[in-house]
Amino acid sequence: MSVLRGIGKIPGQIASWLGERFELEDSVLAVLRHPVPRELERPVGWWYVFGSATLAVFVVQVATGVGLAMTYVPAPNSAYDSLQFISHDATLGAVVRGIHYFGAGAMVVLVLIHMTQVYLFGAFKFPREANWLSGSLLLLAVLAMAFTGQLLRWDQDAFWSIVVAAEQAAQAPLIGDWLAHLVVAGANVGGATLTRFYATHVFLIPAATFGLIGIHLYLVVKRGISEPPVAGVGVDRRTYRRRYEEILGRGIPFWPDAAWRDAAISAVVVVIVVVLAALIGAPALGRAPDPTVVIADPRPDWYFLGYFALLALIPPATEAIVIIGLPLLAFVFLFLVPIFWPDGERHWSRRPVAIAAVALPFIAYASLTVAGLQSPWVPLLEGANLPTSVTAGLEPQAARGAQLFTAKSCWACHQIDGSGGRKGPDLSHVAARLTRERLVARIAGGGGGMPAFAGSLAPQELDDLTTFLFTRK
């Protein structure tokens, strides 16, 4: 028995030996036990967990990323095959890829929740401005990771996304050409492009992220966790530090009094990510990338869909400005927030403008995301077919017209009874609102975004087509 008891003591002895040799009591443990405001014991403490949850998912991303890099081949002639292998043949490969995919979405969501909480709690104010600035750079890093990661999927849509990215970058004033060449690493998307994106995604941005996380955490500990705001009690730069020291005097140690909530939320988030990965999995790969196949629908993952929709919906003339200008403006504004408003009221209930500054972009972006999901501006290029409910019982001439409706690509942009593209007006009841003459003039002469079909429709065909459309009352 005493032998067993002796063996049972060994882990504790190793721990105390390590603790003594590394002087952990004075370093790591002292940092972990740094005092935080006592209010964090109350339910309001649940608002302070999102930074840690983001960090937890970041660790998950690093681990799964290393796992994927063991198999992924970052060469244009092999990347797609290696991803197919990961997704279908490698043991648990699909799950690891799924975790990495949902982890990326979780990073974007958690970083935004974290920033929103910090902003609404006024925690970015004096003396924590630098926390906010380093956090803004981390947001940039997270978005850059999300973007470069999507392109590593290297299917047809990813390939064309790089082309589109280069073309968009080229629209930037002055440095446009330079940027475009930097994006594709040469004159065209080619052998050098994918390895650059890969190195950027797995070395460059993660290295910067590690450094920024170090700075961010250093500042979190050095400046201390902000006390929950109290309406009417603002930040006064002359007295704040003294007041905060008093708060910490009655504080509680971060470890374990506050840390357990971070662990709890992190566990919930990681469980969600893993369950989604196991049940749904990462998005299926599209067609193999082939620049000589022009069927492509390059669209980003869901968190960038709003921006994608915005570019589709604004007047084309403003695009060159909006493409680069809007993100730039957003980040410059983000950086200026603690510089412009370093003191004063912290509580969100006394900062209606701050609430609007959060709510309006969120509502706008959510609406744009819905628009991006529906993408009514996208013409349908494949699967042209009218339902039998439309074509059944048509006179011979109208039936010929119905065939022309799909053959001449009318279907690509116009819907009839729910079938067809939505770029142009719905033609389900077009005869009820246009005269036959107007209809003919519109098809032949185009206008308002519609091409003129006079050159590609014979008079008889035009007559057939209008006869068909005139059955749509």
Residues within window 6-65 making contact with another protein, judged by CB under 8 A: none
Closest residue by Cα to residue 417 from 370, 372, 385, 462? 385
Piece of 35-43, 56-64, 270-278, 376-384 that binds another protein (CB under 8 A): 376-384
Q: Which is nearer to another protein, 252 or 430 (CB)?
A: 430
CA distance to 100, 149, 203, per residue, from 199 (Å): 17, 11, 5
Smallest distance, another protein to C-beta of residue 84, A: 14
Q: Which is nearer to another protein, 259 or 314 (CB)?
A: 314
Q: Which is nearer to another protein, 44 or 454 (CB)?
A: 454
Among 256, 456, 459, 460, binds another protein (CB under 8 A): 456
Piece of 1-9, 140-148, 245-253, 314-322 that binds another protein (CB under 8 A): 314-322
Piece of 59-67, 110-118, 164-172, 354-362 that binds another protein (CB under 8 A): 164-172
Query: Rounded to an integer, what distance in angstroms lies between the CA atom of residue 59 and that of residue 137?
Result: 18
Smallest distance, another protein to C-beta of residue 377, A: 5
- Asked if 418 touches another protein (CB under 8 A), the answer is no
- Asked if 441 touches another protein (CB under 8 A), the answer is no
Give the other-Cβ count within 10 Å of 445's Cβ: 12
Piece of 20-28, 48-56, 170-178, 331-339 that binds another protein (CB under 8 A): 170-178
Among 151, 169, 269, 354, binds another protein (CB under 8 A): 169
Residues within window 262-301 making contact with another protein, judged by CB under 8 A: 288-298
Query: Rounded to an integer, what distance in angstroms lies between the CA atom of residue 337 and that of residue 352?
Result: 15
Residues within window 89-118 making contact with another protein, judged by CB under 8 A: none
Among 69, 70, 192, 359, binds another protein (CB under 8 A): 192
Give the other-Cβ count within 10 Å of 9's Cβ: 10
Among 32, 105, 176, 212, binds another protein (CB under 8 A): 176
CA distance to 101, 372, 425, per residue, from 279 (Å): 13, 25, 39
* Angle at the Cα of 179 from the Cα atoms of 174 and 183, rounded to 5 degrees: 165
Residue found under tokens 């299926």: 284
Residues within window 390-409 making contact with another protein, judged by CB under 8 A: 407-409
Give the other-Cβ count within 10 Å of 339's Cβ: 10
Q: Which is nearer to another protein, 73 or 358 (CB)?
A: 73
Q: Which is nearer to another protein, 1 or 187 (CB)?
A: 187
| Count, residues near another protein per rule CB under 8 A | 67
Closest residue by Cα to residue 50 from 120, 116, 104? 116
Closest residue by Cα to residue 443 from 430, 452, 433? 452
Piece of 39-47, 60-68, 189-197, 427-435 that binds another protein (CB under 8 A): 189-197
Q: Which is nearer to another protein, 409 or 467 (CB)?
A: 409
Query: Rounded to an integer, what distance in angstroms lies between the CA atom of residue 2 and that of residue 14?
Result: 19
- Asked if 189 touches another protein (CB under 8 A), the answer is yes
Among 20, 41, 177, 245, binds another protein (CB under 8 A): 177
- Asked if 253 touches another protein (CB under 8 A), the answer is no
Smallest distance, another protein to C-beta of residue 290, A: 5
Smallest distance, another protein to C-beta of residue 313, A: 9
Taking residues 55 to 84 in sequence order and writing x for each that binds another protein by CB under 8 A, - otherwise, the string is --------------------xxxx------
Smallest distance, another protein to C-beta of residue 389, A: 24
- Asked if 381 touches another protein (CB under 8 A), the answer is yes
Q: Please state the separation of Cα 75 from the chain's center in Å.
A: 25
Q: Which is nearer to another protein, 149 or 421 (CB)?
A: 421
Token reading at 35: 């005092």
Name the site residues for another protein (rule: CB under 8 A): 75-78, 159-160, 163-164, 166-171, 176-178, 180-182, 184-194, 288-298, 311-312, 316-317, 319, 377-379, 381, 407-410, 412-413, 421, 423, 446, 449-453, 455-456
